[in-house]
Structure 1
Amino acid sequence: MLPRVNQMLFFEIASADEEEAAAQYKARIADELEDGLLIENPIDSASGRMKRLYLGDELSVHYLLEDGIKHYFDSHVIGFREDVVKLIKIRKPDPERITKIQRRHFLRVAADLEIAVNLSSNVRFVTMTDDVGGGGISFISDGKWSIKPGMEMDCWLLIPYKNGSIEHSSFKAEVVRVVDLVTGRKQVMCKFVAISDSERQKIIRYCFERQLEFRGR
């Protein structure tokens, strides 16, 4: 379902500045046009300050419906309109390109990301993920490590975004399944058992960008 007039949109702005890229803004939809949405001046969700947008600014947007499902889409600023207040025109999303993520279900994407794993005080290693998502990850490990289902580990994930910024997400994960590969290595599948909302959001943002990249090919 497309966003409606008076609905609140939440978004991040693509930026080479790491602090700005991580900031979240919100703006109400004031009107709907055939080729776009008119939104009010956005406000920084943390500070409450107004944010000025410029023509061409790229936005990663989401909105929440009554059923508790977040809807994500990619957009950009395509113009302005002077009204009682200045309104910003952004591209209307293509319904087929809107990503839906339920609160208890998270998108998962294939990804080769660097991850540091701490199994115990004397077993630490760095490897690459196989896939990542808002609910868990899988990674490839050397066969020499004794990893079994039910084990918990502390992890630090390196996350590069399309604007060039890099984030680190830390969490505690539990091993759900281990698959022995023909190469002698192991595929380790994990679920998150302790992760803050802000750390999880970093991973979800990466998954969102990756899915848009796949769809654009």
Structure 2
Amino acid sequence: MIKIGETLFLDIRKPGQEAQKFQCKVEDIREDHLLVTYPSNLRTNKSEFFMTGTKFYAHFTTKDKITYKFHTEMTDRKKEHIPLLILTFPGEKNLEKIQRREFVRVDTAIDIAIHPTDYQFQPFTAITSDVSAGGCAIILPEQHRLKEGMELKCWMVLPLKDQHRYVKQKAKVIRIIKGENGKRDKAPLQFMKITERDKQHMLRFCFEEQLMFKKKGLL
């Protein structure tokens, strides 16, 4: 299930404080522990130092797009070809599945370009109403030809703090939400084959947006 080379996401959650989010790579898997690269902060993109005994909430996503979570603790450091951390691992039988709705979703407007996979409709641009690492919802033009179950391609630019990141994904229309009282239709989209790199960019963007909302007192 978990494999060498897998990207592992780590959260540190303290009561009354904003969760800190990190990512690392699994370099080796032992019976009851993992050897991982030094975690980098998703917000700053810099590696950080951790004390022995630091506890994390960890999760990873398989090639089948199933996400699992578990609790872990840093027990030691090890120097091989690169410096590594040793984390406890409860075993695959004790991993817990994460439902897709558990991905952080933020209400935000991002320009997005929508293209057909074939010739079902003319390409158009739209604005998102919310985004997450698993998908997004878009506000549709008045005249559109999208239907539930339709597959499409989408391009968006994530305005991260350090630089803009371009995300290109194949997505599926979950449903069409009819607009009422003069409002436009909306379409929730589910990313079908999101790459690990794009997922990391999406998670980081959602984290930065949440942090900004909290600073402004909107959350």
TM-score of the alignment, normalized to the shorter chain, above 0.5? yes
1:108 partnered with 2:117? no
Task: Give deviations 1:95-139, integer Å, cap 9, x for gaps.
Answer: xxxxxxx58531000010000000244510011001000111000
Cα distance in 1 between the residues matched to 2:209 and 2:136: 15
Task: Give deviations 1:140-195, integer Å, cap 9, x for gaps.
Answer: 011311111100110001111234x2111111111111112132621011111121
Of residues 105, 115, 123, the one that matches 1:118 is 115
Unaligned runs of 5+ in 2: 1-10, 14-35, 61-67, 73-97
The one-letter code sitting in structure 2 at the alignment partner of 1:113 is I
Task: Give the direction of change, closer, same or farther, for the CA distance of 1:10–1:174 in structure 2 (3 Å limit).
Answer: same
Aligned to 2:178: 180
Of residues 166, 169, 181, the one that matches 2:167 is 169
The one-letter code sitting in structure 2 at the alignment partner of 1:11 is N
Unaligned runs of 5+ in 1: 15-23, 38-61, 72-101
**1:42-57 to 2 correspondences below 5 Å:** none
Task: Give deviations 1:37-68, integer Å, cap 9, x for gaps.
Answer: 9xxxxxxxxxxxxxxxxxxxxxxxx8737972
How much does 1:2 deviate? 4.7
Of residues 8, 11, 24, the one that matches 2:41 is 11
Aligned to 2:135: 136
Q: Secondary structure at the match of 1:179?
A: coil
Higher normalized strand content (fraction of residues): 1
Aligned pairs, how many? 148
Cα distance in 1 between the residues matched to 2:106 and 2:159: 14
How much does 1:30 deviate? 3.6
**1:1-217 to 2 correspondences below 5 Å:** 2=12, 9-12=39-42, 14=44, 24-30=45-51, 64=58, 68=69, 104=100, 105-119=102-116, 120-121=118-119, 123-163=122-162, 165-182=163-180, 183=182, 185-216=184-215, 217=217
Q: Secondary structure at the match of 1:202?
A: helix
Cα distance in 2 between the residues matched to 1:118 and 1:65: 32
The one-letter code sitting in structure 2 at the alignment partner of 1:29 is F
Instruction: Give the TM-score taking structure 2 as reference length.
Output: 0.57
**Identity rate of aligned residues, in percent?**
25
RMSD between aligned alpha carbons? Answer: 3.4
The one-letter code sitting in structure 2 at the alignment partner of 1:170 is K
Task: Give the direction of change, closer, same or farther, for the CA distance of 1:30–1:133 in structure 2 (3 Å limit).
Answer: same
How much does 1:69 deviate? 5.2
Instruction: Give the TM-score taking structure 1 as reference length.
Output: 0.57
